[in-house]
Amino acid sequence: MPEYGSVVERRAFPRYSLHLTGVAEALFRRQPTALEGEELPDEMGKYPIDIVNMSKGGVQLTFNVAFDAHDVLRMNIIHPETDQPIRLEGELMWVRKNATDLMGKFYAGLAFRDTTQEGVDSLVTYASRQGPPLTT
């Protein structure tokens, strides 16, 4: 198995399966666009999100509104063990339409702006106890 951070494995940190629900709000929008018939989020709205997997560097998430790559989001979630609120911020590095609409019309990769954010380590530790790192 390739070592994390190697040329073969492009991720710097192992990622773990983790399902958390929360809300996100756009802190910064590049050039808002939406596919025909899709809802375009406004900067002040709060939108449901689902985190699907997580690493120390970011998360994969799903949602139902047309965010774009390079939008900056603030996510508010509840820690599954402590029931404490956690606020995370990051930039959407890529966004794709979800062909199945399973768990959301879109899925995306979000890179944390600051991996020392309170809550990142505790969530990664929690996720790592739930199962081994994802390999694909």
Residue type, 74: R
Interval 69-120: pLDDT, tens = 999 999 999 999 999 999 999 999 999 988 776 678 899 999 998 767 778 9
Q: Give the pLDDT score at 9.
A: 52
Nearest Cα residue to 108 out of 6, 26, 8: 26
Interatomic CA distance for residues 35 and 10, integer angstroms = 30
The answer to whether 28 touches 35, Cβ cutoff 8 Å, is no
Among 4-8, 21-25, 82-86, 98-102, name the one with the lowest average pLDDT: 4-8
> Nearest 5°: phi and psi at 30?
-65, -85
**Residue 103 structure tokens:** 């768990």
Domains with residue ranges and CATH for the chain: 16-32+40-114 (2.40.10.220)
**Phi-psi group of 124: left, alpha or beta (phi > 0 → left; psi -120 to 50 → alpha; rest → beta):** alpha
Interval 26-66: pLDDT, tens = 888 776 665 556 665 665 678 999 999 999 999 999 998 88
